[in-house]
Amino acid sequence: MATPVSITSIASLSPLGDTAQQVWENYLQTSTKIQYTEIGGKRVPAAKLTDELTEKIVQLTESDLKYRNLDKSVLFAILASRVAAKEAGWKEGDVFGINIGSSRGATELFENHYREFLETGKAGVQASPSTTLGNISSWVAHDLKSTGPDISHSITCSTALHALLNGVAWIRGGMSDKFMVGGSEAPLTPFTIAQMRAMKIYSTQKEEYPCHALDMEKEMNTMVLGEGAAIACLEAGKKENALAYVEGIGYSTEILKHSVSISTDADCLQKSMLMAMEGIDKSEIDAVVMHAPGTIKGDLSELNAIKKLFDDKLPLITTNKWKIGHTFGASGLLSLELAVMMLNKQQFINVPFAKDVPFIQDKKLKKILVNAVGFGGNAVSILVSK
């Protein structure tokens, strides 16, 4: 029998806030955190951190000379990890692993350093160390003064849930009793926005909800980017202070037709969900937090996958990207945070404009499935229970 894994804390930094109370109160509201803002000389929809959180980032950079050269993605992770460790009761010098990834990494710094290189023909002294992918976990370990393995990776939009997979594997393999996992992303930069617009998936909607994730009647792509980080602390065994338990994990990779393709019925997600539900009757799944990026094909293929698995008895279905945008590598853990909050609050958070999916809660929430899938057909599904 697999070793039970407890989630003893989850902390996040996003447009929803940086405390559990702020996050939940914002989820209870039907308004979105996406607003039109100027990025790279163009007005585009985006989900930015609040002014209060931006000030906290500034204070962090001024607290230590070494932090002044770090990208926002690293700073987000440091602040969120401090809260996660404190709430889990982990202290300085404790032995625990860290696996925090990012899809894009030090995007803003890289763009700034490359602009400087084009203008001067020289690279700044901090250009290389401050833009390496391993930056996040190593700086979090430095900040927390932890002892244990530090791992960073990038698996596009499923990065954070792949980190959770890795943490569970280390724990179940007996190589670690504790693992901190998550993702961080600061993608609100001119070049990143330009990339999404070039793919013709970025929203141009100027109505109440710029992102129409889970709207199956939309006629255009409505993906919107957001920024933030989410960190979870995992521990071996069933802990009394657990927020929830990781009951199942699943993963799959799809054969690609092109670099960003996904099959009509999201074969990779079907396989990952089935793996996560192994040994569990599908009728026990009370809700699914979809990846649902707000694109026509992405949303529809995932819903098709869910319908294939659950037939005519669909669980409750939701997503959070209509509210906080797509945070790339951090998105899966932010979705997991929503799932764990719904389990603990016993209240389902629906998408206000969704019509074609079940969204009215009529029973207690006990098991929730969380999906993430990224470019390259990398799908992850996590089943959490309370």
Question: Considering its fold, how many domains does the chain have in total?
Answer: 1
* pLDDT (tens digit per residue) in 210-227: 999 999 999 999 999 999
Chain mean position to CA 280: 25
Q: Two tokens at 144?
A: 């927390």
The predicted structure's pLDDT at residue 206: 87
Kindly report the CATH number assigned to the domain that includes residue 9. 3.40.47.10
Asked if the model's pLDDT at residue 133 lies above 80, the reply is no
The predicted structure's pLDDT at residue 3: 83
Three-state DSSP at 287 gives strand
Distance in angstroms (rounded) separating the CA atoms of residues 27 and 347: 11
Residue count of the chain, please give it: 386
pLDDT category at 2 given cuts 50, 70, 90 is: confident
* pLDDT (tens digit per residue) in 55-65: 999 999 999 99
pTM, two decimals, is: 0.96
In the chain the beta strands, taken as DSSP E runs, fall at 5-13, 35-39, 42-47, 97-101, 150-151, 178-185, 225-226, 228-236, 244-253, 287-289, 316-318, 367-374, 378-385
Distance in angstroms (rounded) separating the CA atoms of residues 162 and 103: 11
Distance in angstroms (rounded) separating the CA atoms of residues 66 and 56: 16
The predicted structure's pLDDT at residue 132: 87
The predicted structure's pLDDT at residue 257: 63
Domain with 276 in it: 5-385
Asked if the model's pLDDT at residue 362 lies above 60, the reply is yes
Question: In the chain, pLDDT over 90 holds for what percent of residues?
Answer: 88
When the pLDDT of each residue in the chain is averaged and rounded to a whole number, the result is 94
Per-residue pLDDT, averaged over 201-210, amounts to 94
